[in-house]
Amino acid sequence: MSNSVISVISRFLEEYTTSTPNKLKVVDAYLLYILLTGAFQFLYCLLVGTFPFNSFLSGFISCVGSFILAVCLRIQINPQNKGEFLTVSPERAFADFLFAHTVLHLVVVNFIG
């Protein structure tokens, strides 16, 4: 059982490294970084406590929000998904990404207190 799971994972990783274009790999690296940042924040909150709760929340939501927006960007610039996004060209996707990040970070900065 575990053998098959490990082999599945290794095959998946191999297929991932060969078949995904570089643009998407950059986005995936960014996603990993955001994930680690969010995990660290959560770990800190568990260890030290939630005293300025709004600050913790704004930081954590900033991580989650950046992650989600990067995933949306990845979906929209993936050439395999082109049939589904007729109005959204990759440039438009990136512009939307920047706009969404502006709004998100303005609110996060307001909420951090």
Task: Work out whether 40 is an interface residue with other proteins (CB under 8 A).
Answer: no
Look at the block and give the residue holding tokens 């990404």: 97
| Selection from 53, 75, 65 nearest residue 107 by Cα | 65
Task: Work out whether 10 is an interface residue with other proteins (CB under 8 A).
Answer: no
53-77 helix and 22-48 helix, angle to the nearest 10 degrees: 170
Site residues for other proteins per CB under 8 A: 1, 4-5, 7-8, 11-12, 15-16, 53-54, 57-58, 61-62, 64-65, 68-69, 71-73, 75-76, 81, 84-88, 92-93, 95-97, 99-100, 103-104, 107-108, 110-111
